[in-house]
Structure 1
């Protein structure tokens, strides 16, 4: 390992420790770490902005930006208040019932859209719902972030790492449905039980607030039905754009930006209205994090780790699939799962080639990579894009979620879900193949 690679690893480790300690603003730390990477020569300036492998992932940044603009405009219609009251009334204002309802909605929506878009839409509803009922929204937001990562595992477009894997392995939307949706359904059912153990049993029911919510007329919260209709049509078109990605080959970020532009045009609202809703701090944190992790990729640090993980495979595909599943879960909790998968996918491709036509025991490596990376993202607050977005929204609204608060619960969820995937991979691709 070169001296620059060692320095890059030290910079990343130092920034990670400081972020975990939460003594300083995480966005400032990420940006300083990114600047340090450029300063030591771990990555060059043009690679920061223009390299697909070692620079800022603009697809993620602009996907978030576009959806934040659309959500900001939708907020003006009162639709989030409507959905909050509707959800509470369907659950009879019982806190755990509401949590289960929101978790299921989040997981299903994450599979059909993507997990980042879903949490951007669900989080405002959750905050309003908890405000009405006098509940702490943090447990609900944690549950939704983790549900989004579990649900997003089920489809090609549900989680950004799946898009990378699908492209590299030649896998389509239906392939993910057939191979991953069955285990995701099981994981979601188990996760509902974990929600009760981790958060649900401590939620308190307030009969007076519940009765007040049950008396509300949800439709009265819609302030501008015409604006809701126009922006709603734009949102539906954006969702269609996401779902038809494999046909149109339009990047989700481009679809989101086009949708944001269309929403601004049809809404005709003042600029500050939707710009004020954008989580600028979250976007900058992502940019800094991408540069730091990209520097490790550029210096070969992550590649060396990945090769170490896969270097002992030979023809032992069973242990290799289990090792890849576990290793991906661990590493995706430490670094963001998007650059991790971007590094690992070429290595798996070199080992077994495209997934089409492969026997099940070889194809298992692709599915082990997807399961480990997607579910491992639940381990820490920076393991997946949805986690960063949720913690940013929570902080903005006065409910900061510490790194350790997220990690304490996230490690439990990750350990249980990954443990359940191990027998699934063994049975599906080796015993029943």
Structure 2
């Protein structure tokens, strides 16, 4: 029943005939009504990632507050002046910055900061924002693969495998930035008509960053809050703070200092539909974990390719990449970690060194999120912001059509890289 509900819900999500929030919540509640979970409250506790939910809520409030103070317009003009040669250079610069930021802080926070900047730039140039938003979604997930703190599955994998930050970065960082460059080349080719525009030098010179400042005090406070946010995210592990705690603190601090009289208006700008969609999606994925479907699937993988390190690593990249495009990669990663650990007991000679498998799982789970518009949290949030601020959207089939070649190429490159470097 859990599998039927899950597949049926995803089929409707792909067709986009019904609002995705309705589909996710109904799918989750039907699972509960049919007894997939013994205890509904325990199901919510165990499978809903409240850290992600509160992170989204806090950062959406924060972005809404400081957006009104002109900070994003200011950064947009500065960025435009730095990469003003043509559409290709601008695209390359923005996607590189997003990937770099995603390696330092989580992907969702990165897109929440950069999407408004990008929209400010495309508005000023009067060009289509879709190629830029799509590229930044791809870049956020690719960049997040580079470090332990870039994506939640990496934190889980590094903790289970005892991998150090520098060691992890030396392996995943190299292939991540190669994958980024390849992605940039492919997307610039796919969107060549929309990116093939020149930027008028005189028009760029006429843009004055200071014109974006509506209120100097509010502007400087916004800067201080943004820098405080980045510092808190960068040092969150040393401070022993959850991402959600930082986001809620900074969001409501900004609201208190800058917009305490506009609380209701700011809260209306939060994408509550996106937050509820995440809630339903977590429950539906939890149904697959609760019933043992994901666990059984991983044992099938062991039976198919468990006799060779090479075959298991290659299969792990491909399968985790494909599944992470449709299933939240956090529970999927959590399910595979004990399976990989157990391989040393099943076949100690073949699996004496598990590092190739840990990195294969990381690359597959993180890169696979780029397959679909619902494959990763950053995708959902970025597209929700595009809809919120511009009333534009990228259809599921269009997203997948462009993403398929990129992700497939990235996964193949990653498999070759693991083969050469680690096996």
TM bucket, shorter chain: over 0.9
Question: Which residue in the other structure is 1:3 paired with?
Answer: none
User: Contact 2:141–2:378 at 8 Å: present in 1 too?
Assistant: yes
The aligned counterpart of 1:4 is none
CA distance in 2, matches of 1:266, 1:359: 55
**Aligned counterpart in structure 1 of residue 26 of structure 2, from 32, 52, 63:** 32
Listed as ranges, the matches of 1:92-107 within 5 Å are 92=84, 94-107=86-99
> Aligned pair 1:50/2:45, yes or no?
yes
In the TM superposition, residue 93 of structure 1 has moved relative to its aligned partner by: 5.8
Contact 2:71–2:222 (CA under 8 A) maintained in structure 1: no
Q: Aligned partners of 2:302, 2:317: CA distance in 1, in Å?
A: 11
- Give the aligned partner of residue 371 of structure 1: 363
> Aligned residue pairs: how many?
416
CA contact (8 A) 1:157 1:242 kept: no
Instruction: Report the Cα offset of residue 392 of structure 1.
Output: 1.1
Instruction: Give the drift of 1:306.
Output: 1.7
> Of residues 117, 136, 141 in structure 2, which corresponds to 1:144?
136
CA distance in 1, matches of 2:330, 2:225: 28
- The equivalent residue for 1:212 is 203
2:88 alignment partner, SS class: helix
Check whether the contact 1:395–1:401 (CA below 8 A) recurs between aligned residues: no
Counterpart for residue 288 of structure 2: 296
1:231-254 deviation per Cα after TM superposition (whole angstroms, max 9, x unaligned): 333332332232223323322112
Deviation at 1:88?
Answer: 2.0
Alignment of 1:241-390 (within 5 A): 241-269=232-260, 270-352=262-344, 361-390=353-382
Match of 1:15 in 2: 9
1:114 to 106, 126, 131: 106
Mapped pair 1:425 → 2:413: no
Tell me if the contact between 1:110 and 1:149 (Cα under 8 Å) persists in the aligned partners. Answer: yes
In the alignment, the residues of structure 1 paired with residue 196 and residue 178 of structure 2 have an alpha-carbon distance, to the nearest angstrom, of 28
How far residue 213 of structure 1 moved from its aligned partner, in angstroms, is 4.1
TM-score (norm 2): 0.93
Q: How much is the aligned-residue C-alpha RMSD, in angstroms? A: 2.0
Partner of 1:278, secondary structure, is coil
Aligned counterparts of 2:373 and 2:43: Cα–Cα separation in 1: 23
Q: What are the ranges of 5 or more consecutive residues in structure 1 without an aligned counterpart?
A: 1-6
User: Matches of 2:167 and 2:265 in 1, distance apart?
Assistant: 41
Take 1:321 and 1:341, find their aligned partners in 2: how far apart are those partners?
A: 14
Cα contact 2:102–2:150 (8 A) shared by 1: yes
- Structure 1 residue 176 corresponds to structure 2 residue 168: yes
Contact 2:309-2:351 at 8 Å conserved across structures: no
Partner of 1:305: helix, strand, or coil? helix
Deviations 1:131-154 (A, max 9, x none): 222211111111000000000100
Deviation at 1:33, TM superposition (A): 0.6
Matched, 1:224 2:215: yes
Q: Distance in 2 between matches of 1:385 and 1:247?
A: 24
Q: Is residue 65–residue 254 contact of structure 2 (8 Å, CA) maintained in 1?
A: yes
- SS at the partner of 2:354? helix
Change (3 A) 1:349 1:260: farther
Cα offset, 1:305, TM superposition: 1.3
| Normalised TM-score (structure 1) | 0.91
1:140-190 deviation per Cα after TM superposition (whole angstroms, max 9, x unaligned)? 111000000000100111112212222332333223212210111211221
Q: Is the 8 A contact 1:33 1:288 kept in 2?
A: yes
Q: Secondary structure at the match of 2:422?
A: helix
Structure 2, unpaired ranges of 5+: none
The change in CA–CA distance for 1:278 and 1:73 in structure 2 (over 3 A counts) is same
2:145 alignment partner, one of 153, 173, 178? 153
Deviations 1:41-74 (A, max 9, x none): 11231123211xxx21101111111111111111
Structure 1 residues 352 and 123, CA gap change in structure 2 (3 angstroms): farther
| Cα 1:106/1:100, change in 2 over 3 Å | same
Task: Choose from 400, 405, 408 the match for 1:415.
Answer: 408
Cα contact 1:325–1:368 (8 A) shared by 2: yes
Residue 64 (structure 2) aligned to one of 56, 65, 72: 72
